[in-house]
Chain A
Amino acid sequence: MAELFSRMGDSTPIKAHIEISDLAMSRGGMPLFAGISTKVLNGDILWIQGDNGIGKTTFLGALAGLHMVDDGKISWRINDHPCQAGQITAYQPHASYAKPALTAREDLNFWASLYGTLTLAETALETVGLSTKTNVPTRKLSAGQRRRLALAKLVISQKPIWIMDEPAAAMDQDGLKLIDDLVRNHVARGGAAIIASHSPARVLSQATRKLTLRATS
């Protein structure tokens, strides 16, 4: 872990933040939530909670710049200048997006080549505990191992704000500790994390804020 983060250099990530004002979104024409306003700054851990189907995934996708919003505004900023969502956020979706036919190393290297961080890929695989699985096709990995691979992608993206959708699902005790450590190190370097989770990993007890989505009765 220490090696990975030291390899990333000591440059604190750029001062990035996301500003959400009066956000309203819907899915398939049905409104999900409305009137959300908050800010995510460097060093923040924002814990998103809510029942199934309330719109957590849609909310996270919007923060990653995936969806159009119905109303309100999300603005992504570097040093207070507006930027594209992709410049400052990395998104770990709930489902694995590893290509089944590629080996763990090939899959990670593909993304590393896009992010320009090929030098980090090998260390990242070791850090997430996949060093013995580098040449195994990802379809032969367990669900938990695929989640570890997704964590490695989050790290090598070198983006200051991590957006994680249920990272703890299918993870063993070791895995939960891994998430804890990664997020803690990331935030210590000046990064931020937005995490949707039902089962709080220990790191979530350090969350600076908790956002709960509740149905209006």
Chain B
Amino acid sequence: MINYLANPIRFLKFSKVAAPIFGWLSLGTFVWGLYLALIASPPAIEHGQSVRMMYVHVPAAWGAQMAYTALTIASLVSFIWRHPLADSAARSFALPGTAFTFLALVTGSLWGRPAWGTWWQWDGRMTSVLILLFIYLGYLAIWNIIPERKRAARLASILAMVGFINIPIIKFSVDWWNTLHQPASISSPGAPGMPPEILWPLLVMVTAYTLLFGWLSLRGIEADIVKSRKTRAESKPAATATIETL
């Protein structure tokens, strides 16, 4: 499957079919999920109506981490096999990932206002997400500052992989640094103690974000392939050499 899709032309064909499916499914799931989250589900006992922010926040945080994992896998493939499609994929995962991270920070802050009484708390999770945003920005900056595509891909993949190894270290240090954070049941859907009427909308929203990520990435890869083909087609013919024996 992966071997088959590794050819850019075949990938474009596949994507022409798959991207709209992801897009429409994502839209449908979002409508369903938001209905469950905002209308059907009950307000939480201690958080009140503000708990509904969770249905936007937790999936965004999940999306941010999933995107980085996908980015690392693509980087690994790009680094080992130097495959241009993996470069395109890694680059296309980064933008939605950054957006999810940013969304997680904003919604976390909005949710924190009623819960904590302040827009921001230096708790373990918020701090980790903030650092993840820095990692994403650094990654995108590498693509931005290095004009040669192959070199940018290689350097970005190195940074992505080392960054991935660094993520658990950051989590560990930030948790160490601030042991006063929210109880874990909020961030882990499916943990015991999460009632099904909260869990269900959450799972639907997570699915919707994942599908959205799939759609955005596929569109990103398509655009990237088309762009790199265009630059290749525009370039002038190369010089040739003649060799004379003197």
A: residues with CB less than 8 A from B are 24, 26, 28-36, 38, 47, 50, 54-55, 68, 205, 207-216
Please state if B242 and A216 are interface contacts (CB–CB under 8 Å).
no
The closest CB in chain A to the CB of B149 belongs to A29
- Which parts of B90-130 form the interface with A (CB within 8 Å)? none
- What would 21 A/B residue contacts be, using CB atoms closer than 8 Å? A26-B238, A28-B148, A29-B147, A29-B231, A31-B235, A32-B238, A32-B239, A33-B239, A34-B239, A36-B241, A38-B243, A55-B239, A68-B150, A207-B246, A209-B246, A210-B243, A211-B243, A212-B244, A213-B241, A214-B241, A215-B239
- Which B residues touch A33, using CB under 8 A? 238-241
- Which B residues touch A28, using CB under 8 A? 147-148
Please state if A29 and B238 are interface contacts (CB–CB under 8 Å).
no
Please state if B242 and A212 are interface contacts (CB–CB under 8 Å).
yes
Please state if B240 and A35 are interface contacts (CB–CB under 8 Å).
yes
- Which A residues touch B148, using CB under 8 A? 28-29
| Separation of A36 and B243 alpha carbons in the complex (Å) | 9
- Let me know if B183 is at the binding interface, CB within 8 A: no
Not counting A24-B238, A29-B235, A210-B246, a sample of 6 additional A-B residue pairs whose C-beta atoms are within 8 angstroms of each other reads A28-B148, A29-B147, A32-B238, A54-B239, A55-B239, A216-B239
Partner of B236, one of A30, A68, A209, A210: A30
- Which B residues touch A36, using CB under 8 A? 240-241
- Let me know if B237 is at the binding interface, CB within 8 A: yes
The closest CB in chain A to the CB of B154 belongs to A68
- Let me know if B245 is at the binding interface, CB within 8 A: yes
Known interface pairs A28-B147, A214-B241; A208-B236 also in contact (CB < 8 Å): no
Known interface pairs A28-B148, A29-B148; A214-B242 also in contact (CB < 8 Å): yes
Please state if B242 and A211 are interface contacts (CB–CB under 8 Å).
yes
A67 CB → nearest B CB, Å: 11
Please state if B241 and A212 are interface contacts (CB–CB under 8 Å).
yes
- Which A residues touch B239, using CB under 8 A? 32-34, 50, 54-55, 213-216
The closest CB in chain A to the CB of B151 belongs to A68
Per-residue contact bits, chain B 135-168, to A (CB 8 Å; 1 contact, 0 not): 0000000000001111000000000000000000
Q: What are the nearest 4 A-B pairs in CB distance?
A: A31-B238, A33-B239, A34-B238, A36-B241
Please state if B240 and A214 are interface contacts (CB–CB under 8 Å).
yes
Known interface pairs A28-B148, A29-B148, A68-B150; A211-B241 also in contact (CB < 8 Å): yes
- Which A residues touch B147, using CB under 8 A? 28-29
| Separation of A54 and B240 alpha carbons in the complex (Å) | 10
| Separation of A55 and B241 alpha carbons in the complex (Å) | 11
Please state if A209 and B245 are interface contacts (CB–CB under 8 Å).
yes
- Which B residues touch A214, using CB under 8 A? 239-242
- Which B residues touch A32, using CB under 8 A? 238-239
| Separation of A30 and B244 alpha carbons in the complex (Å) | 27
Per-residue contact bits, chain B 214-246, to A (CB 8 Å; 1 contact, 0 not): 000000000000000001000111111111111
Please state if A30 and B242 are interface contacts (CB–CB under 8 Å).
no
A52 CB → nearest B CB, Å: 12
| Separation of A36 and B241 alpha carbons in the complex (Å) | 6
The closest CB in chain B to the CB of A204 belongs to B246
The closest CB in chain A to the CB of B239 belongs to A33
The closest CB in chain B to the CB of A46 belongs to B243
B51 CB → nearest A CB, Å: 51
- Which A residues touch B245, using CB under 8 A? 208-209
| Separation of A68 and B236 alpha carbons in the complex (Å) | 20
- Which A residues touch B244, using CB under 8 A? 209-210, 212
| Separation of A70 and B162 alpha carbons in the complex (Å) | 28
A117 CB → nearest B CB, Å: 32
| Separation of A216 and B239 alpha carbons in the complex (Å) | 5
| Separation of A212 and B149 alpha carbons in the complex (Å) | 29
Please state if A216 and B150 are interface contacts (CB–CB under 8 Å).
no
| Separation of A212 and B237 alpha carbons in the complex (Å) | 17
- Which B residues touch A31, using CB under 8 A? 235-238
| Separation of A54 and B244 alpha carbons in the complex (Å) | 18
B143 CB → nearest A CB, Å: 15
| Separation of A24 and B149 alpha carbons in the complex (Å) | 17
Please state if B243 and A209 are interface contacts (CB–CB under 8 Å).
yes
